[in-house]
Amino acid sequence: MADPHDVSSVTLNRLSLYLRALRQLQLQGERTISSLALAERYHLSAPQIRKDLARFGEFGIRGVGYDVGELAGRLRGLLGLDREHRLVVVGIGNLGSAFVRFLEDEPGSFRVVAAVDNDRAKIGRRVGSLVIRPLADLAAVVAESGAEIGILTVPARAADANYRALLDAGVSAVLNFAPVALAHPDSVPTKSVDLRIYLEELAFQLAAQHLGAAGGERRLPDGG
Amino acid sequence: MADPHDVSSVTLNRLSLYLRALRQLQLQGERTISSLALAERYHLSAPQIRKDLARFGEFGIRGVGYDVGELAGRLRGLLGLDREHRLVVVGIGNLGSAFVRFLEDEPGSFRVVAAVDNDRAKIGRRVGSLVIRPLADLAAVVAESGAEIGILTVPARAADANYRALLDAGVSAVLNFAPVALAHPDSVPTKSVDLRIYLEELAFQLAAQHLGAAGGERRLPDGG
DNA sequence: CCATGTGAACAAATTCACAGCA
DNA sequence: TGCTGTGAATTTGTTCACATGG
């Protein structure tokens, strides 16, 4: 076991995958599972599961496997999912409103507590159970609601300014869906996701496939 | 330069990032850019840009840099974005309808040509400019519309069956947003994206930060 | 026995440093 | 001179094989 700091993004994403799998196993009433069985059911790698888990402690029972409930609990704790995280969504367009409703349907450890937009037509309307507030009030909204994580779902041209507004308002982390490269301070974890890129990845693979692909293999695991 | 097959997912994603950056530079009227300038403006690594690009040909001019327009064109070609890709969206819930409208607003090389759902209440209604068709008609819908890529935005419990339905209907690639691990044939590129995982990554970093983080550093680049 | 946990071998990706060309 | 393109060095990540312990 190593110290739990500096975990790479890929490892972290695998831990989320393991947790997702374990929750399904729990629903199915499974009590224990071996790394091999877990790997087979969810198309993962057994040695990698063991390596990943062993990094954070000895969670398994030799000769048996892992206790499903206990391991799920450990992973929840590790990932910081054992408490509620409050989110503020900035930009209530297509993606922003989808995100609000999505998380209201299945909150898990994440709860959207505020929604803001700078469009006069939207302010005061509802998205899910929330009333949309003016972007100009962001700092007050964050302070009142106790929002900790900002979700940035605004057009590219507005992203930089709104990102800074989120930082100024005092959020501790940001998930950005705008297609821009944000310069972020070390103190505020910021993850950028560009949905278009996933489509482009598939487009490349279709192109490579079409171009014969004689000899060279395209090996791109589906990523979870 | 190596053959253009078997490119890793991360490399591919960086190419998309470069293309996105180049398009912005084009709009700003820039004619050429060096790897160093590109890296500085978009928080990337200059040697990595050169490595990535050199893998596919000699696109640059020594002593000068890269021609913005030409390089953008090359990358578009490489990624298979020089032709239109037709999409069918399966599951018109929050995320599905957001996706349809998002791509109608900014189509790029991707055009949504069909939307299906199995909810009687939704069938016949519109999402963007499309009329929602019954899931049962998927094969016919794909055949009529010429859809090439399936977008899976259904609840987890329906994902496996609907994924198979997409394969049976003859799509060539699938982008899956349902939180399940799909078993996919080598012949059909399939990319799974779980938005919740990004939130969990941030939750972990907040937890690690809170736990002192004395000594160990959390280094997780924001990923684009 | 059986499956975990792990050091050692291997593979992949990134960074470096500089040769080579405009 | 300045920046690309690239082999070599380094770092990071994955797989293997087996010693360890329930």
Q: Is the CB of B63 under 7 A from strand C?
A: yes
Do the Cβ atoms of A8 and B207 come within 8 Å? no
Give the distance from CA A82 to its chain's centroid: 15
> What rounded mean pLDDT belongs to chain B?
93
Cβ atoms B119, B65 nearer than 8 A: no
Question: CA torsion, points B208, B212, B213, B214, in degrees to nearest 10?
Answer: -170
Residue by residue, pLDDT tens for chain A (224 residues) are: 555 568 999 999 999 999 999 999 999 999 999 999 999 999 999 999 999 999 999 999 999 999 999 999 999 999 999 999 999 999 999 999 999 999 999 889 999 999 999 999 999 999 999 999 999 999 999 999 999 999 999 999 999 999 999 999 999 999 999 999 999 999 999 999 999 999 999 999 999 987 764 444 434 456 54
Residues of chain A with C-beta less than 8 angstroms from the C-beta of B185: none
- What is the H or E stretch that residue B61 is in? strand B60-61
Q: Which nucleotide is nearest to B53 (CA to C1')?
A: D5
- Alpha carbons A123 and A111: distance in angstroms, whole number: 20
Do the Cβ atoms of A192 and B222 come within 8 Å? yes
Q: Which residue is nearest to nucleotide C6 (CA to C1')?
A: A51
Residue B219, pLDDT score: 40
DSSP A43: T
Residues of chain A with C-beta less than 8 angstroms from the C-beta of B8: 220
- Alpha carbons B117 and B135: distance in angstroms, whole number: 5
| Range B142-154 average pLDDT | 98
| Alpha-carbon Rg for chain A in angstroms | 21
Residue B211, pLDDT score: 75
- What is the H or E stretch that residue B130 is in? strand B130-134
Task: Give distance CA B81 / C1' D5 (Å).
Answer: 26
Cβ atoms B174, B166 nearer than 8 A: yes
Range scoring the smallest mean pLDDT among A78-92, A131-145, B1-15, B127-141: B1-15
| Range B11-31 average pLDDT | 98
| Range B65-80 average pLDDT | 98
Do the Cβ atoms of B209 and A189 come within 8 Å? yes
Do the Cβ atoms of B102 and A81 come within 8 Å? no
Digit-coded pLDDT (tens) for B185-207? 999 999 999 999 999 999 999 99
Q: Is the CB of A218 under 7 A from strand C?
A: no
Mutate to test the interface with B, among A184, A205, A211 (most CBs of B within 10 A): A205
Task: Give distance CA B105 / C1' C8 (Å).
Answer: 54
Residue A1, pLDDT score: 54
Q: How confident is the model at residue B209 (pLDDT cuts 50, 70, 90)?
A: confident
- The alpha carbon dihedral of A86, A95, B221, A159 has a sign of negative
Q: Which residue of B has its CA nearest to A24?
A: B180
- Alpha carbons B49 and B40: distance in angstroms, whole number: 11
- Alpha carbons B99 and B92: distance in angstroms, whole number: 9
Q: Is the CB of B11 under 7 A from strand C?
A: yes
| Range B26-43 average pLDDT | 98
Q: Which of B6, B211, B218 sits opposite A218 (nearest CB)?
A: B6
Residue A59, pLDDT score: 97
Q: Is the CB of B12 under 7 A from strand C?
A: no
Do the Cβ atoms of B206 and A195 come within 8 Å? no
